[in-house]
Chains A and B, each alone.
Chain A
């Protein structure tokens, strides 16, 4: 028997993103040097949505990219090969403040892989991390700068997300107990 709890519904997700966008704007006074990079799957949609809100705050275009972290994972010979996703960074990362965007922050290993993968594209001035959910259980010294919701979880619980690029009524974040 599995038990499920809705952590965030569609309007709560949108409110959390709006707050994160304002926090990003507050932290980065030099708005022209900021670019968002989403980590698939999930983070790419969130990055696009955050960028849209930031455009409304800053009144100028905000570059958005997608970064696949598969090649930089540290468990490649311990598991079946994971699916690759396209990487698309249509701007120069050198000297930029890059906000990495992911859906769930858990062990921190994906974030580590993302920072390594980003290095192949240049040397950002700063890297910041925005996540919709922080569920704890870090295995690396990594911490998010912007968090939608802190959710204390047990290791056997699962968080699943339904997200769309522009936001839809069915969007939700669910916690499942095994």
Chain B
């Protein structure tokens, strides 16, 4: 077990062993979060910049708290208040932040590949907090962490991801992580949002919801990303809820111990019935708790990592 990467840019380039290193480390940090004193000095004196060029509350707050619990100083930099509105480029903004001696830059951006670009122009550690429809690696860590905690393993489990796959960075990161760890991944949703091309990532695509969830150990629901859709991909929200939403009837036909996950924010009554979201099958709030632990683990691990060129010296 060792993590030598300087940045966390995506799940695709990680090995199964690296993913498991993050999950094992996160288990330690989850225990730290249960102590009376929840703060440890691992990143004392370091500066973490949350560079969120796309709105987010949950991920930004989670990263902010993770960095604070590791004793780092945190600066939040949001798109509305920033110079982007005045026409500054991403590179210039990032270089300015680095000139203030930022050690970590956590970036969320609507353009796929923005974190990879920053990792080439900055000396700071770069962590991808979601780039366009490309990847959201820490979400994949917290999802696999939660599954492993609930089910004791990941290899051999049937995981169904249901909803808007096409525009979802969560789906892409989850598929990479789950298939690398040996789960059987099934994708389901309206055919306009679940193209068959996803089968190239090593998963199964089906448009029959009941079949997709019948043998599932884990049902991961995704939100319809209205903000990324350029045109209507299905007739109406009501029809989506009727055809693909998770309700009592559908759940009754699944394995009795299948868990329900959702990366949030939930649209109650659309992808999931309100009472199911609050039921004991749902692990949605535990995902939030675990998100904090995996983000602490990521910050802690990349802190010890070096770029390939630096490591060779």
User: Which residues of A approach B to under 8 Å, CB–CB?
Assistant: 68, 70-72, 76-77, 79-87, 116, 120-121
Whether B40 pairs with A77 at a CB distance below 8 angstroms is no
Provide 23 A-B residue pairs closer than 8 Å at the C-beta atoms, listed in order of the A residue: A68-B28, A70-B28, A70-B42, A71-B32, A71-B42, A72-B41, A72-B42, A76-B42, A77-B46, A77-B303, A79-B304, A81-B2, A81-B3, A81-B301, A81-B305, A82-B304, A83-B1, A83-B25, A84-B25, A86-B31, A120-B39, A121-B35, A121-B36
5 closest A-B pairs (Cβ-Cβ)?
A84-B28, A81-B304, A71-B40, A120-B37, A71-B42
Q: B28–A85 contact, CB under 8 A?
A: yes
Q: Which residues of B contact A71 (CB under 8 A)?
A: 32, 40-42
Contact: B32 with A77, CB < 8 Å?
A: no
- State whether A80 and B42 are in contact (beta carbons under 8 Å apart), knowing that A120-B35, A120-B37 are contacts in the complex: no
| Residue B4 at the chain A interface, CB threshold 8 Å | yes
Q: Which residues of A contact B32 (CB under 8 A)?
A: 71, 87
Q: B residues within 8 Å of A by Cβ?
A: 1-4, 24-25, 28-29, 31-32, 35-37, 39-43, 46, 300-301, 303-305
Residue of A nearest to B301 (CB): A81
- Residues in B whose Cβ lies below 8 Å from that of A79: 304
B305 neighbours in A (Cβ, 8 Å): 80-81
Please give, as numbers and ranges, the residues of chain B lying within 8 Å of A68 by CB-CB distance.
Answer: 28
Q: B interface, by DSSP: helix, strand, loop or mixed?
A: loop
A82 to B301, CA, bound (A): 8
Specify which of A77, A80, A82, A121 lies most central, judged by the most chain B CB atoms within 10 Å of its CB.
Answer: A80
Chain A facing B: main interface SS: loop
Q: Return the contact of B304 from the options A77, A87, A116 (Cβ within 8 A).
A: A77
A81 touches B28 (CB 8 A): no
Q: What residues of chain B lie closer than 8 Å to A121, measured between beta carbons?
A: 35-37
Least CB separation from A79: chain B residue:
B304
Contact B31–A80 (Cβ < 8 Å): no
| Max chain B Cβ within 10 angstroms of own Cβ: one of A76, A81, A82, A116 | A81
Residues in B with CB closer than 8 Å to A70 are 28, 42
- Contact partner, A76, options B4, B37, B39, B304, Cβ 8 Å: B304
Compute how far the CA of A46 lies from the CA of B303 in the bound complex, rounded to whole angstroms: 32
Whether B4 contacts A86 by the Cβ 8 Å rule is: no
Q: How far is the CA of A70 from the CA of B301 in the complex (A)?
A: 12
- In the complex, which residues of chain B have a beta carbon less than 8 angstroms from the beta carbon of A86? 28, 31
Please report the C-alpha to C-alpha distance between residue A21 and residue B1 in the assembled complex, in whole angstroms. 35
Q: CA A120 – CA B40 in complex, angstroms?
A: 8
The distance in angstroms between the C-alpha atoms of A79 and B28, with both chains bound, is 19
B31 adjacent to A81 (CB under 8 Å)? no
Contact (A81, B40) CB under 8 Å given A86-B31, A87-B31:
no
Seed contacts A76-B304, A79-B304, A81-B304; 15 additional CB < 8 Å A-B pairs: A71-B42, A76-B42, A76-B300, A77-B303, A80-B2, A80-B304, A81-B300, A83-B1, A87-B32, A116-B41, A120-B35, A120-B36, A120-B37, A120-B39, A121-B37
* Residues of A contacting B25 in the complex (Cβ-Cβ under 8 angstroms): 81, 83-84
How far in angstroms is the closest Cβ of chain A from B141? Answer: 15
Q: Of all chain A residues, which has the CB nearest B44?
A: A76
* Distance of B296 from chain A, by nearest CB (Å): 10
Chain B neighbourhood of A81, CB < 8 A = 2-3, 25, 300-301, 303-305
User: Inside 8 A of B43's CB, which chain A residues have their CB?
Assistant: 76
- Minimum CB–CB distance for A80 against chain B, Å: 5
CA distance in complex: A116, B36 (Å) = 15
Kindly list chain B residues whose C-beta atoms are within 8 Å of the C-beta of A87.
31-32
A72-B1 in contact given A79-B304, A81-B301, A84-B25 (Cβ < 8 Å): no
Q: Specify which chain A residues have a CB less than 8 angstroms from the CB of B31 in the assembled complex.
A: 86-87
Separation in Å of the A41 CB from the closest CB of chain B?
Answer: 13
